[in-house]
C-alpha cells in the first residue's frame, strides 16, 4: 500500500502543542504498520495557506527513519486553511508513478484536520471527487475544536464509514488503532 498522511498546519488555539499531538498521532498509526520498500510506504503533506509535499514514497523504507523525518516537520501556523490544495497535491504530486506511487498498490490518504477550509472552500467537494476518481481513498480524522464539522469530513471521505472524529487533541491517541486497521483493511481494484 501507498499511504499519504495529510496534516493541517494552519493556526491552532493550542499552537505548536496541538501540532505536536497531531504528529504524535501519525507516528502512533505508523507504529502499527509494516513499512518497507515492498510493503507499505509513506508520504507526508503539510498544509495551511497552501500544501507542501514534505516527502514522497521512495524516500523512506523503514519505520524508524519515516517517524524521525515526520518528527522534524515544523508547525507553520498559517492563518488560512487550504484543504483543497492539499488534495490537489495528492493527485498532482504524490500519487503519481513518476513520484514513486505504485500502480497496483492501494492508494490511501489519511487527512488529519481541526479546521474547516477557509481558502477554496467552495471547491473542496469537487477536488475531493477528483482525488477519489483517481483511486485515492481518503480517510479523514477530524478534531472538532475550531468549527470543523463532520459535513466537511464526509465530503472528502471515500466512505462515510471511514470518518472518525475526536473532540480534543488528547483523544487522537484513542483512535490510532482504528485508523491503522482501516488502512490495513483497505482494498482497491485498479
Between strands 41-47 and 51-55, the pairing is antiparallel
pLDDT in tens, 141-154: 999 998 899 999 99
**Grid cell for residue 12:** 491552532
* Residue 190 covered by a domain: no
Q: What is the distance, to the nearest Å, from the Cα of residue 152 to the centroid of all Cα atoms in its chain?
A: 14
In the block, which residue shows the cell 505504485? 102
* Residue 175 covered by a domain: yes
Domain count of the fold of the chain? 1
Q: Are 175 and 141 in contact (CB under 8 A)?
A: yes
- Enclosing domain of residue 59: 2-185
Q: What is the CATH number of the domain that holds 145?
A: 3.40.50.410
Task: Catalogue the long-range contacts made by 75-78 (C-beta closer than 8 Å, 24 or more residues apart).
Answer: 75/9, 75/15, 75/16, 75/19, 75/20, 76/9, 76/10, 76/46, 76/48, 77/9, 77/10, 77/11, 77/12, 77/15, 77/16, 77/48, 78/9, 78/10, 78/11, 78/48, 78/49
* Residue 166 covered by a domain: yes
pLDDT in tens, 20-54: 999 999 999 999 999 998 899 999 999 999 999 99
- pLDDT, tens digit only, all 190 positions of the chain: 999 999 999 999 899 999 999 999 999 999 999 999 889 999 999 999 999 999 999 999 999 999 999 999 999 999 999 999 999 999 999 999 999 999 999 999 999 999 999 999 999 999 999 999 999 999 999 999 988 999 999 999 999 999 999 999 999 999 999 999 999 887 643 3
Amino acid at each position: 500500500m501507498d499511504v499519504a498522511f495529510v496534516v493541517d498546519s494552519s493556526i491552532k488555539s493550542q499552537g505548536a502543542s496541538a501540532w505536536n499531538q497531531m504528529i504524535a498521532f501519525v507516528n502512533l498509526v505508523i507504529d502499527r504498520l509494516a513499512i518497507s520498500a515492498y510493503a507499505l510506504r509513506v508520504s507526508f503533506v503539510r498544509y495551511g495557506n497552501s500544501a507542501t509535499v514534505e516527502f514522497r514514497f521512495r524516500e523512506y523504507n523503514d519505520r524508524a527513519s519515516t517517524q524521525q523525518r515526520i518528527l522534524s516537520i515544523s508547525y507553520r501556523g498559517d492563518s488560512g486553511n487550504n484543504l483543497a490544495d492539499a488534495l490537489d497535491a495528492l493527485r498532482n504530486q504524490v500519487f503519481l508513478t513518476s513520484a514513486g506511487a505504485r500502480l497496483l498498490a492501494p492508494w490511501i490518504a489519511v487527512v488529519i484536520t481541526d479546521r474547516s477550509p477557509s481558502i477554496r472552500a467552495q471547491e473542496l467537494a469537487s477536488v475531493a471527487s477528483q482525488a477519489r476518481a483517481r483511486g485515492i481513498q481518503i480517510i479523514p480524522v477530524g478534531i472538532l475544536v475550531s468549527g470543523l464539522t463532520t459535513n466537511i469530513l464526509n465530503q472528502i471521505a471515500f466512505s462515510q464509514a471511514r470518518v472518525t472524529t475526536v473532540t480534543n487533541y488528547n483523544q487522537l491517541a484513542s483512535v490510532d488503532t482504528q485508523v491503522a486497521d482501516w488502512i490495513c483493511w483497505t482494498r482497491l481494484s485498479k
